[in-house]
Structure 1
Amino acid sequence: MRGSGYVIIGLGRFGSSLGKELVKLGYEVLGIDKDEEAVQEMSPYLTHAVVAECTDEEVMRSLGVRNFDCGVVAIGDDIQASILTTIQLKDLGVKRVVAKAISELHGRVLEKLGVDRVVYPERDMGIRVAHQLASPNLLDYIELSKDYTIAELTVPRGLDGKSLHDLNPRARFGCSIVAINKTKGVIIAPNAEEVLREKDVLVIIGTNDQIDKFEVAVNR
């Protein structure tokens, strides 16, 4: 196992998939939920899974949640339980607290409680799918911040044989190509002489506007 692991409170769809992936990555994961059925379902996949009332400070203390590097509040639509659990984790001294929010208002409350990171799984997934549906060459889209995005775009036929120097994305659009995924492997920080082939995948960083302009230009 790596590190002191994660405690995930709330084993719904988000909490369950997060827990499974963290275990695959080699981390110790304690899953907590008040629903016995959810806990039984996840027991084979997590290091430990227990039925417990997460808003009870004594129960949380007895489970040793303060010994984990990171606590994730993945409670579904019970905003009160989410907020109370977040307060418990902060009071118990968990080093890093991440919480799922189901609305902007919920997220703002969590931020005021000092959460290290607020995640919006449904909103973020909706944004990514919308961009993928609207842009046929867009494979993936991740908002790094309110200002910057990283996107993966497939190289259209019209750019086959062109070099990065020919494209000159930084000067023309303000965005940067930080990697190219080719059939022979990934090229990190490619130089200007790198030649593109149809179906290569460009990894681009920039603002939404810069990436949109770049995509429109290359698909003309």
Structure 2
Amino acid sequence: MAKKQVVVVGLGRFGSNVARTLYQMGHDVLGLDTNERLVQDVMSEVTYAVKGDATNENVLRELGVPNFDAAVVAIGSNVEANIMSTVLLRSLGVPYVASRARNQLHGQTLDRLGANQVVYPEREMGSRVARSLFHPDVTEYMALAPGFGISKIRSPEALQGQTLKDAGLAGSRDKYSLFVLAIRRGKDLILLPSEEERVQQGDLLILANKDETLERLYQSSTTKTEPEKP
């Protein structure tokens, strides 16, 4: 996946986790908070971290935020600043804004104000939120070791109709070095599917994978092949 520019607003426990994960995934990450101590805490773990107010349009413009690919509003304690930052980021043209919500009502408000994704930290880990920014088909992720984990993903359209073998999903020696532990198909759960099992629309694939192999799968399955010229 191409490197993206992401601003994370609010560097508390949740926001700093999102920022670190995005940086570890290879993206350019700007961390922004009004608290100098929180900025210093993540300074060495993101591309750059700045003390500043995300509700101030001039601050965001000076930092070049309107040109960023995505934003995460992770402010938790100040609902007003959370909402104002979300609205301002969207009005400045940031294509994708994920905003933290404290409760259902707050989440509904953010949704109506233009947030592309509403996240509930009490339900979701920061690392999962970071991954879902650019991999919306990843519905769950559990880290087992640095750089390795178990993912639950929706079947990529490009792989539907193919056998696991043809799709390169039949084990460590195959194209993506991914191991399919199970397939959730409607109410059915297919454990340790054979390499001849075909990927179907609506399947949820449960994979054991290194992080970079999942990146490779997504990059390949979302790249459209140009038609041959006559």
Query: Is residue 50 from structure 1 mapped to residue 50 from structure 2 by the alignment?
Result: yes
Tell me by how many angstroms 1:93 deviates: 0.5
Aligned partners of 2:65 and 2:194: how far apart in 1? 39
CA RMSD of aligned residues (A): 3.1
1:176 & 1:91 partners in 2: Cα distance?
44
The residue aligned with 1:159 is none
Give 3-state SS (helix, strand or coil) of 1:43's partner. helix
Aligned to 1:97: 97
Alpha-carbon separation, structure 2, partners of 1:102 and 1:70: 21
Which sections of structure 1, spanning at least 5 residues, go unmatched?
126-139, 145-168, 181-186, 193-201, 205-220
How much does 1:25 deviate?
Answer: 0.8
Question: Counterpart in 2 of 1:32?
Answer: 32
Task: Give the aligned partner of residue 188 of structure 2.
Answer: 175
CA contact (8 A) 1:101 1:119 kept: yes
Once the two structures are superposed, the pairs formed by residues 68-107 of structure 1 within 5 Å of their partners are: 68-107=68-107
The one-letter amino acid of 1:54's match is A
Larger radius of gyration: 1
Q: Runs (4+) of structure 1 moved beyond 3 Å?
A: 140-144, 187-192
Q: Distance in 1 between matches of 2:194 and 2:114?
A: 36
Same amino acid, percent of matched pairs: 41
Check 1:25–1:191 CA distance in 2 against 1; reply closer, same or farther (3 A cut): same
> Offset at 1:143?
11
Deviation at 1:141, TM superposition (A): 9.9
Secondary structure at the aligned position of 1:118 is classed as strand
1:53 Cα offset (Å): 1.0
CA distance in 2, matches of 1:188, 1:70: 39
TM-superposed CA distance for 1:190, in Å, is 6.3
**Matches of 1:69 and 1:190, distance apart in 2:** 39
- Matches of 1:20 and 1:2, distance apart in 2: 18
Question: How many equivalent residue pairs?
Answer: 149
2:159 alignment counterpart: none
CA 1:36–1:95 in 2, change beyond 3 Å: closer, same or farther?
same
Measure, in 2, the Cα distance between the counterparts of 1:143 and 1:81: 33
Cα deviation 1:43-95 (Å, max 9, x = unaligned): 00010100001111111111111111001100012110000000110111001
SS at match of 1:38: helix
Q: For 1:142 and 1:31, locate their aligned partners in 2 and report how far apart those are by CA, in whole Å.
A: 28
Verify the 8 A CA contact 1:72 1:98 in the aligned structure 2: yes
Determine if contact 1:33/1:51 at 8 Å carries over to the other structure: yes
The residue type equivalent to 2:32 in the other structure is I
Rounded to whole Å, the distance in 2 between the matches of 1:188 and 1:15 is: 40
Alignment of 1:1-16 (within 5 A): 2-16=2-16
Question: In structure 2, do the counterparts of structure 1 residues 52 and 189 end up closer, same or farther at CA, with 3 Å as the change threshold?
Answer: farther
Per-residue displacement from partner, 1:4-24 (whole Å, max 9, x unpaired)? 321000001111011111111
Structure 2: unaligned runs, 5 residues or longer: 126-149, 155-183, 199-204, 208-230
Counterparts of 1:123 and 1:71, CA distance in 2: 20
State the partner residue of 2:59.
59
Higher relative helix content: 1
TM-score, structure 2 as length reference: 0.57
Q: Distance in 1 between matches of 2:194 and 2:23?
A: 28
Residue aligned with 1:122, SS: coil
